Homo-oligomer: A and B are copies of this chain.
Amino acid sequence: MLLDEPQKERADAARNRLKVLAAAARLFREKGVDGVSMDAVAAAAGVGKGTLFRRFGDKSGLAVALLDERERELQEAILTGPAPLGPGAGGAERLAAFVEAYVDYLLGHLDLVRMSETASPGARYRIGSYRFWHRHVTIMLVEARPGCDAGPLAHAVLAALSAEHVTALVAEYGEARARQAIRTLALG
């Protein structure tokens, strides 16, 4: 028994998972996130639709899997990286650093994040990483603004960081001004 595989995954399953991720990444790059159907992903990966859905649940699950590595980097940086994003700085400063880093991440993968958040109603709030961001922002807010109702306020901050909202801001004001506006928000 290998210690780094707590949940055993059958060899063919692992192979197919990699084939699907590679095919999906390539298709999305070539044709854009919209304009690629799940059938097309399955065909390009050389697997059946059943396999695709069994493994990733739905279209947003596929997007989440493709974003996974980038998300983990950001989460690592928050948990154990250098200040001000990581531990060591004050709540307000860490919060500002998080928003900055999250916007970088978001603008680099806007379409994919959008797909992960909007594929099904309420999908955004069920993704594991959303709960991570929410928890982090809540803790930073408690430190930065003692006495505020941090839980709901953290949701509001994240609402301004939703792919849907940021997409609209970028379309209306351009990337630079949109970024500045979001930055201002988190500090206010």
Interface residues of A (CB under 8 A from B): 34, 114, 118, 121-122, 124-125, 148-149, 151-153, 155-156, 159-160, 162, 164-165, 167-169, 172-173, 177-178, 180-182, 184-185, 188
Contacts and interface: CB of A to CB of B under 8 A. Distances in A.
A149 B118 contact: no
The count of identical subunits is 2
A169 B184 contact: no
Contact of A153 (B124, B162, B167, B185): B185
A164 B122 contact: yes
Contacts of A173: 151-152
Given A149-B184, A181-B149, A184-B149, A125 B168 contact: yes
Contacts of A168: 122, 124-125, 155
Contacts of A118: 118, 121
B164 A160 contact: no
A153 to B, nearest CB: 7
Q: When A and B form their complex, which 7 residue pairs have the shortest distance between CB atoms, in order from nearest? A: A152-B181, A159-B165, A156-B160, A159-B159, A125-B168, A159-B160, A156-B185
A47 to B, nearest CB: 27
A60 to B, nearest CB: 13
A92 to B, nearest CB: 14
A141 B166 CA distance: 20
A134 to B, nearest CB: 10
A31 B114 CA distance: 29
Contacts of A162: 159, 165
